[in-house]
Structures are given as C-alpha cells and as structure tokens.
Structure 1
Amino acid sequence: MNVSPDPVASSETVAPTWSPRGWLVWGLGAVAVLALVLSVLLWQRLGRMQEQLARQSQDAGQQSLEAKAWAKQAQDTVKDNAARLTLIEGRLGEVALQRGQLEDLIQSLSRSRDENLVVDMEAGLRLAQQQAQLTGSTEPSLATLKSAQQRLQRAAQPRLAPVERAVEKDLERLRSLQTPDIPGLLIRLDEGVAQIDALVLANQSPAPGALAAREAQPKPSAWPSWWSQGVQQVLGPLSDLVRISRVNAPEALLLSPEQSFFLRENLKLKLLNARLGLLARQYDAVRVDLTQTAAGIKKYADPQSRKTQQLLQLLEQAQQQLQKGESPRLDASLAALATAAAGR
C-alpha cells in the first residue's frame, strides 16, 4: 500500500532556515561590496582631480611663463618709453627755448616796428608844423595828422592809444582854427605905408589949409563984425608966431627936418618889414613890427590929427585880424609821441 507524503511535512523540510549569523555575513558582504564600489568611485574621482590639478598646474606654469615674458616685454617697453620720454622732454625743452627766443624776436620786431612808426610820425608832424608856419595854412598839418591817424588805426597797438587820442584832439583843434585874411592885411599895410607921407608930426605947424579952414569957421562974438575982423587981422600974424599945444613926448619937438624924413622912412620900413613877415607867415614878427610902428606914431605924430587917428585905427584893425592867425602847432601829438618813444 502506497502511502502519500504529507504536504505539510514536506514543506517544512524544503524551506531553509535563516539564522542571525547568516544575516550578519550577508550584511558584512553587502557593506564590503558597497565600500569597494565607493572606493572605486572615490579612486576614479581622485584620479580625475589629479589630472585636473596637473592640467591646471601645467596651465599655471604656462601662464607664469607667459606672464614672465609679458613682464619682461612690459619692462622693456617701459625702458623704451622712458628713453623716448627723456628724449621728448629734451626736445620739448629745446622747443620751449626756441619758442621763447621766437617770442622775444617777435616782440623785438614789434617794438622796432612801433618805434619806427613813432619816429616816422614825429618827423612827419614836425615837418608839417614847419610847413604850416611858413605857409600859414593848416593843410599840411591836417594831411599829416590824417595820415598818422590812419597808420595808428592799422597798427592797432594799445600802447599807442594815447598818441591816437592826441592826434584826434589836434585834428579837431586845427579844423576849428580860423586863418587871417592875408590879402586884406596886405592891402591895409600898403594903405598904412601910403599914409605915412601925409602924417602930421608933433613938431610941425598946422598946414595953411587947416589954418584957413580954422579961420573960416564963424566964431560967435558980442562985438560987431567989423570990429572982430579988425582984431583977427591984427592978432592973426601974432598967433602964427606962438602956438600952444600938448606934447606927450618932449623929444618929438626936437626933431629936425632931416630926422623927420628918416622917421617917416623908418616907419615905412617897419610896415614893409611887417608885410614881408606876413607873406612869410611870421605872425609874431608882424605883431612886433606893428606894435613898434604904432608906438612910434603915438610918440612923434600929432595925436589931434585925423590922419594920425586913421593910421592908428588901421594898425589896430590889422592887429585884431592877426589875433586869429595863430600858427598851427601840434604840441599834444608831439608830446604823446615823445612819451611813447620814452616808454619803449
């Protein structure tokens, strides 16, 4: 008889039994495997790190070499630049010195040009003043002042500004200056020369015509006319012998006929000399001659004579006209030019 096996018993026989020791062995094995795996991974990582460090060290070495090369090149460049800078500074010093010398030369040329301009204008103004004194005309002075003004405006130098103002002042003064009537004065002097011959001197007796005119004047009298005429016929010759008149200069009565002639000629020469001075535009000399002529007439001529009064009036009118004939002078411009020349 076949006996079938018990399923429960067979299952109990097949199933292994796990003991704590087995679990420990398996745990230690797993830990060992895990440690081995981790060691391998760590070793690989360390290898990669070493390779990376080696590459970085190699790169750092190359960079250090390159840095040294660049530093050497930079040092050479600095030395080269320093040498160039020294050379440039030397050349810059030379250029600055040349520039200073050039500026001094330009200033010297400018001062020389200004000095030449001042000297030229001063000479021109003095020559124009002499021409104006000789001709009595303001045209030479005006033309020279206008030319000087234009030259100063073209020069445009601040140090010559006072000269320009002085030139403008002289221009305005000359434009407003009045010139004397030379032809009219010459005519008056000619009339004066002609009147000297008819001048009545203090030592001369009245002319017969003047006595006749004086006697012909009717005189009021309380006596009858026939009695007055008889008295005049008797006293007339006596009045010719004695004449009473006022004389300011006693020496005028002591003139002889010859001296009277030379006196008239001397007065004529004075007026002719004044005429020549007027033509030469020597107004000061003309004034002196006219003053001396008037003084001689007042001293030696009869002040009561109408011819004497007319001649003195003519000389006075000539003196008044000469007051307008001042010689044109350029004192302001010449003084400014002298100051500018002294300030160089």
Structure 2
Amino acid sequence: MATDERGAWTEKVFTSINVLIMIAVICAIILGWQWFDTRNQIAKLQIELASRLASAESYNQESRQRASRALDAERAADARLSILERKMADSQNQQVALEQMYQELARNRDESTLAEIEQVLLIANQQLQLAGNVKAALIALQNVDSTLQRMDKPQLKSIRLAVEKDIEKLRSIPFADVIGVSLHLDSVLNSVDSMPLAMDAHPHPGPKKEVRDEKSPWLRFWKETWEDVKGLVRIQNMGKKEMPLIPPSQAYFLRENLKLRLLSARLSLLAHDQVAFREDLETAQDWIRGNFDLDSAEVKDALATLKQIYGSEIKIDRVDINDSLNAIHDFRSERAAK
C-alpha cells in the first residue's frame, strides 16, 4: 500500500515534471520565436533607420546647400539693395536739385515777365503824361492783362485788379482822334508847296470878238490890229484889297513859315493843347486867305480841311496808371525781400 502510494506520488511527480518540461519547452519556443521576431524587427528597424538617416543626411546636405545658396543670394540681394539705396539717394538728391532748379527757373521766368510788364507800364504812363496817348496806353494795359491771365498765378491777383481798374479809367476818358487830325494836317502840309500865290493869279481873258469878213484887206487888217491893241490893256475889279507883291525869295519863306505854323499845330495836337492848336490853325488860315489864290482848288481844299479840324476836341484830362505801377512795384519788392 505504501509502495503503491509512493509509486503514484512518483508518477505524479514525473507527470508534473513532464508538464513543467513541456511548459518550459513551449516557453522556450515562444521565447525563441519572440527573440527571432524581435531580431528581425530590430534588423528591419536598423535598415529603415539607416535608410532614414541616409535620407536625412542627404536632406541635410541639400538643406545646407540651399542655405548656402540662400545666404549667397541674401548677400547679393543686400549688395543690390545697398546699390539701389545709393542710387535712390542719388536720385532723390537729383530730384531735389531739379525741383530747386525748376523753381529757380520759374521764379526767374516770372521775374523776367514781371520786369517786362513793368517796363511796358512805364512806357504807357510816359505816353499818357507826355503825349496824352490814351489809346496806346489802353492797348498796353490790355496786353498786360492778357499776359497776367496766361500766367495764372493767384499771387498776381492784386496786380490784375489794379490793371483792370486803370483800364476802366482809361475807357471812361473821351476819345480824341489825334491820328486822324494829324493825317489831315499832313495833307495840308504836303499841298503847301503846290498852292498858287494870289499874285500869280491872272484874270481870264474875255472872249475874242470875231472880225467880220471885210472885203477890203486893209480894213480887215486895221480892225484886227485894233482888237489886239485893246487886248493889251485890261481893267479888272478884284472885289477885294490888293494882294501884296512878294518876291520869289520871300514867297519861299512864306511857304516855309506856313509849314512851321502847321507843324506847331501838330505839336499842340500831340500835347492836347486846345488853345494853342486853334491859334495856330487860325493863323494858318489867315495866311492862306491873305497870300494864296482863293480860286485854286488846292487852296479851297486846304482851307476846308483846316476849318474841319479846327472844331476837333483834342483836350483831355491828364490821367496816369500809377495804381498798376505801384502794385507791380510792391509785389516785386516783397518777392525780392523773401
């Protein structure tokens, strides 16, 4: 009984050992498989890691190359940027210089134009003061106004207002036809040398009587001779006082004095001296009536012309354009002070 129990226990022990061995073998097999699989996975990981490291090294090398190229490009860009900055600075300096030059040229051009305008105004004012030439002064002011309008400068508004004011002032002055009257005086002056003197006028012979046809030639001869003898003496009623006999040398001085008197009338016309102008015309008309042939067409035309211009109104009130002159002078002075 004890032997059986010992044999059963021993069998149980061997059975347990076998089970343990089998378990150990199975565990060994499992561990071996896991080791083999792990080794394979590690090998694969090593291969993949090596591949990735190679790729990473290639990428790093390419990145370094790219970084080097980018750095070179950056350096080149910085150099170009520096060049561009220098060029831009030079361009800005040139632009500033050009702007200053343009402003200086514009200033000089405006200054030159204003100087010309002031000169024109001075001449127009002299014409007004010396000759009373309102028309010429008005034309000059209108030209100045057109010039200022073309300049289109707001700062010149005060000058334009002064010029327009003077234009309106000149337009309100009565117009004296100085040129027309002067042309009439010239026509009389040109005809003085050709006007006949009164002492050169001869009476017109009366109609010659026809001698009747006489049968006797001696009787016809004596009648013709008698008619010729009667024609040697003529009686003329002049109906006016006797004209003075003037020697040729004095006739020359008479004509020259008449011309001087007409020239004096022209000077009075230019000076707008109404009294002196009419006195000269009256004297000239008296000389023509007293010394020239009143039956001559030229003398009649001269007297008619002098009578016509005698009634012309040439006197005008003295005016000036000092407002325009003062305005442009003040503007130029203020501009020069700046």
- State the TM-score, normalizing by the size of structure 2: 0.52
Q: Partners in 2 of 1:162 and 1:52 — Cα distance?
A: 94
Match of 2:321 in 1: 330
> CA offset at residue 137 of structure 1?
4.3
Match of 2:134 in 1: 138
Q: Is 1:340 aligned with 2:331?
A: yes
> CA offset at residue 110 of structure 1?
0.7
Relative to 1, partners in 2 of residues 1:112 and 1:165: Cα closer, same or farther, differing over 3 Å? same
- The one-letter code matched in structure 2 to 1:176 is S
- Unaligned 5+ segments in structure 2 are 1-11, 179-263, 277-312
Q: Partners in 2 of 1:166 and 1:21 — Cα distance?
A: 139
Match of 2:53 in 1: 57
1:174-221 per-position Cα deviation (integer Å, ceiling 9, x unaligned): 223456899xxxxxxxxxxxxxxxxxxxxxxxxxxxxxxxxxxxxxxx
Equivalence map 1:236-255=2 (5 Å): none
> CA offset at residue 26 of structure 1?
2.0
Aligned length: 203
Match of 2:169 in 1: 173
Q: Partners in 2 of 1:36 and 1:177 — Cα distance?
A: 136
Q: 1:114 is paired with a residue of what secondary structure?
A: helix
Relative to 1, partners in 2 of residues 1:116 and 1:34: Cα closer, same or farther, differing over 3 Å? same
Equivalence map 1:287-326=2 (5 Å): 325-326=316-317
Q: Partners in 1 of 2:273 and 2:34 — Cα distance?
A: 138
Q: Partners in 2 of 1:66 and 1:282 — Cα distance?
A: 108
8 Å Cα contact 1:133-1:327 kept in structure 2: yes
> CA offset at residue 165 of structure 1?
2.2
Q: 1:19 is paired with a residue of what secondary structure?
A: helix
1:201-249 per-position Cα deviation (integer Å, ceiling 9, x unaligned): xxxxxxxxxxxxxxxxxxxxxxxxxxxxxxxxxxxxxxxxxxxxxxxxx
1:67-126 per-position Cα deviation (integer Å, ceiling 9, x unaligned): 222222222222222222222222222222222222222112111111111111111111
1:158 to 130, 142, 154: 154
Relative to 1, partners in 2 of residues 1:282 and 1:112: Cα closer, same or farther, differing over 3 Å? farther
Q: 2:320 is paired with a residue of what secondary structure?
A: coil
Q: Partners in 1 of 2:152 and 2:16 — Cα distance?
A: 125
Q: Is 1:75 aligned with 2:66?
A: no
Q: 1:327 is paired with a residue of what secondary structure?
A: coil
> CA offset at residue 328 of structure 1?
2.7
Q: RMSD of aligned C-alpha atoms?
A: 3.4
> CA offset at residue 160 of structure 1?
2.2
Q: 2:272 is paired with a residue of what secondary structure?
A: coil
> CA offset at residue 30 of structure 1?
1.8
Equivalence map 1:72-221=2 (5 Å): 72-178=68-174
8 Å Cα contact 1:134-1:282 kept in structure 2: no
- Unaligned 5+ segments in structure 1 are 1-16, 183-272, 287-320
Identity score, percent: 28
Q: Partners in 2 of 1:62 and 1:181 — Cα distance?
A: 108
> CA offset at residue 63 of structure 1?
1.9
1:117-170 per-position Cα deviation (integer Å, ceiling 9, x unaligned): 111111111111222334434222221111111111111223323222222222
Q: 1:328 is paired with a residue of what secondary structure?
A: coil
Q: Partners in 1 of 2:94 and 2:102 — Cα distance?
A: 12
